[in-house]
A and B are shown apart, each in its own frame.
Chain A
Amino acid sequence: MGIQEDIFEDFFDRLEKDAEFPNEIVEKLRKLWESDEIASKEKILKALTGGIEDTSNNQGH
Chain B
Amino acid sequence: MLLKGENGTGKSSIVEAIELFFTGKLSVFEGEGTQSLSLRKHAPHKDFSNRDINIKVTFNPGHITLEKTFEKEPDPPKQLENYFQTAKNGTFILRRSQILKFITSVPADRFRAIASILGIEPLDNIELEMKRACDDLEGGIHFKRERMGNLLMEISKLLGEDISESKEVLSSVNRKLKEANLSTIASFDEIDKPADEMLKAFKKTTDMERVRKLNEIIQELESLRIDDKIADDLRSLNEKITPLLDERIKRELSITELLLKGRQAVEEAERNICPLCGQEVDREKLLKQIETRLYTLRQLSEEASEIRRTSVQLEEKLNLLLGKTKKMSLELEPFKSLSNVRTRLLRMLEFMEGFVDRVKSAKELKGGIPVEAFERNKVRLEKLLRSMSVKCQRAFEKIGVPVDWKNKMKVISLVNQIKAIINELDNIEKQLKIEERRYNLASKIYTTFSEIKKSKMDEIYKSIAGNIDAFYTTLHPNDPHKNIELSVSSGRRASTELKIESFGRTKEDPRAFTSEGHQDSLGLCIFLAFVKKFNVGCNFVVLDDVVSTIDAQHRELICKLLFEEFKDYQLFITTHDGIWYEQLRSHQRACGIEGKFKNLEITRWEPETGPLIESFKPRWERIQKRIDSSDKLGAGNEGRQYLEWLLKEICETTRATVPFKIDGKYVISDLWNPAKQCVSKLVKDDKFREKVLQRFQELEATIIMGNLLSHDNPLAETVSIEEVKRFCEAIHELNDVFTCPNCGSFLKYYQDMKKLRCPNSKCEEPIELSCR
A residues near B, CB below 8 A? 2-4, 6-7, 10-11, 14-15, 18, 21-22, 25, 29, 38-41, 44-45, 48-49, 52-56, 58-61
CB-CB under 8 A from B169, the residues of chain A are 61
22 contacts between A and B (CB under 8 A): A2-B119, A3-B118, A3-B119, A3-B456, A4-B123, A7-B123, A11-B448, A11-B449, A22-B441, A39-B122, A39-B129, A40-B129, A41-B129, A45-B442, A53-B437, A54-B430, A54-B433, A58-B430, A59-B166, A61-B166, A61-B169, A61-B426
Distance of B66 from chain A, by nearest CB (Å): 24
Judging by beta carbons under 8 Å apart, are B119 and A55 in contact?
Answer: no
Distance of B294 from chain A, by nearest CB (Å): 14
Q: Given A58-B426, A61-B169, A61-B426, verify A15-B119 contact (CB < 8 Å).
A: no
CB-CB under 8 A from B123, the residues of chain A are 4, 7
Contact partner, B434, options A10, A29, A45, A52, Cβ 8 Å? A52
B452 contacts the other chain (Cβ, under 8 Å)?
yes
B residues near A, CB below 8 A? 118-120, 122-123, 125-126, 129-130, 132-133, 136-137, 166-167, 169-170, 187-188, 422-423, 426, 429-430, 433-434, 437-438, 441-442, 444-445, 448-449, 452-453, 456, 460
Give the CA-CA distance A54 to B436 in the complex, in Å: 11
Q: Which residue of A lies closest to B426 (CB)?
A: A61
Contact partner, B129, options A44, A54, A59, Cβ 8 Å? A44
Give the CA-CA distance A1 to B770 in the complex, in Å: 58
CB-CB under 8 A from B187, the residues of chain A are 60-61
Distance of A37 from chain B, by nearest CB (Å): 10
Give the CA-CA distance A16 to B408 in the complex, in Å: 59
Given A54-B430, A61-B426, 15 further pairs, Cβ under 8 A: A2-B119, A4-B120, A4-B123, A11-B449, A11-B452, A22-B441, A25-B441, A44-B442, A52-B434, A52-B437, A52-B441, A54-B433, A59-B166, A59-B426, A61-B170
CB-CB under 8 A from A53, the residues of chain B are 437
Give the CA-CA distance A11 to B437 in the complex, in Å: 20
Judging by beta carbons under 8 Å apart, are A52 and B170 in contact?
Answer: no
Distance of A46 from chain B, by nearest CB (Å): 10
Judging by beta carbons under 8 Å apart, are A7 and B452 in contact?
Answer: yes
Judging by beta carbons under 8 Å apart, are B426 and A49 in contact?
Answer: no
CB-CB under 8 A from B120, the residues of chain A are 3-4, 7
Judging by beta carbons under 8 Å apart, are B170 and A54 in contact?
Answer: no
Taking each of B126, B132, B426, B430, which has the highest tally of chain A beta carbons within 10 Å of its own beta carbon?
B126
Judging by beta carbons under 8 Å apart, are B448 and A52 in contact?
Answer: no
Judging by beta carbons under 8 Å apart, are A6 and B167 in contact?
Answer: no
Give the CA-CA distance A59 to B448 in the complex, in Å: 35
Q: Which residue of A lies closest to B187 (CB)?
A: A61
Main secondary structure of the interface of B (DSSP, over half): helix
Distance of B424 from chain A, by nearest CB (Å): 11
Judging by beta carbons under 8 Å apart, are B126 and A38 in contact?
Answer: yes
Give the CA-CA distance A4 to B45 in the complex, in Å: 40
Contact partner, A59, options B167, B438, B442, Cβ 8 Å? B167
The total of interchain contacts (Cβ-Cβ below 8 angstroms) comes to 88
CB-CB under 8 A from A61, the residues of chain B are 166, 169-170, 187-188, 422-423, 426
Main secondary structure of the interface of A (DSSP, over half): loop
Judging by beta carbons under 8 Å apart, are A44 and B452 in contact?
Answer: no
CB-CB under 8 A from A7, the residues of chain B are 120, 123, 449, 452-453, 456
Q: Which residue of A lies closest to B121 (CB)?
A: A4
Give the CA-CA distance A43 to B453 in the complex, in Å: 21
Judging by beta carbons under 8 Å apart, are A10 and B452 in contact?
Answer: yes
Q: Which residue of B lies closest to A45 (CB)?
A: B133
Give the CA-CA distance A29 to B126 in the complex, in Å: 12
Give the CA-CA distance A54 to B437 in the complex, in Å: 9
CB-CB under 8 A from A22, the residues of chain B are 441
CB-CB under 8 A from B448, the residues of chain A are 11, 14-15
Give the CA-CA distance A6 to B120 in the complex, in Å: 11
CB-CB under 8 A from B456, the residues of chain A are 3, 6-7, 10
Judging by beta carbons under 8 Å apart, are A4 and B445 in contact?
Answer: no
Q: Which residue of B lies closest to A49 (CB)?
A: B438
Judging by beta carbons under 8 Å apart, are A44 and B445 in contact?
Answer: yes
Distance of B52 from chain A, by nearest CB (Å): 37
Judging by beta carbons under 8 Å apart, are B433 and A56 in contact?
Answer: yes
CB-CB under 8 A from B126, the residues of chain A are 38-39
Distance of A26 from chain B, by nearest CB (Å): 10
CB-CB under 8 A from A55, the residues of chain B are 433, 437
Q: Which 3 residue pairs of A and B lie closest in terms of their CB atoms, listed nearest first?
A: A56-B430, A41-B132, A44-B133
CB-CB under 8 A from B118, the residues of chain A are 3
CB-CB under 8 A from A21, the residues of chain B are 441, 444
Give the CA-CA distance A59 to B442 in the complex, in Å: 28
CB-CB under 8 A from B188, the residues of chain A are 61
Q: Given A3-B118, A52-B441, verify A14-B452 contact (CB < 8 Å).
A: yes
CB-CB under 8 A from A56, the residues of chain B are 429-430, 433-434
CB-CB under 8 A from A2, the residues of chain B are 119
Q: Which residue of A lies closest to B296 (CB)?
A: A39
Distance of A6 from chain B, by nearest CB (Å): 6
Give the CA-CA distance A56 to B430 in the complex, in Å: 5
Judging by beta carbons under 8 Å apart, are A41 and B133 in contact?
Answer: yes
Give the CA-CA distance A4 to B422 in the complex, in Å: 49
Taking each of B422, B423, B441, which has the highest tally of chain A beta carbons within 10 Å of its own beta carbon?
B441
CB-CB under 8 A from A14, the residues of chain B are 448, 452
Contact partner, A29, options B430, B445, B452, Cβ 8 Å? B445
Give the CA-CA distance A41 to B133 in the complex, in Å: 5
Distance of B208 from chain A, by nearest CB (Å): 25
CB-CB under 8 A from B437, the residues of chain A are 52-53, 55
CB-CB under 8 A from A52, the residues of chain B are 434, 437-438, 441
Give the CA-CA distance A60 to B438 in the complex, in Å: 24
Give the CA-CA distance A61 to B126 in the complex, in Å: 44
Give the CA-CA distance A44 to B133 in the complex, in Å: 7
Distance of A34 from chain B, by nearest CB (Å): 13
Give the CA-CA distance A41 to B442 in the complex, in Å: 10
Q: Which residue of B lies closest to A44 (CB)?
A: B133
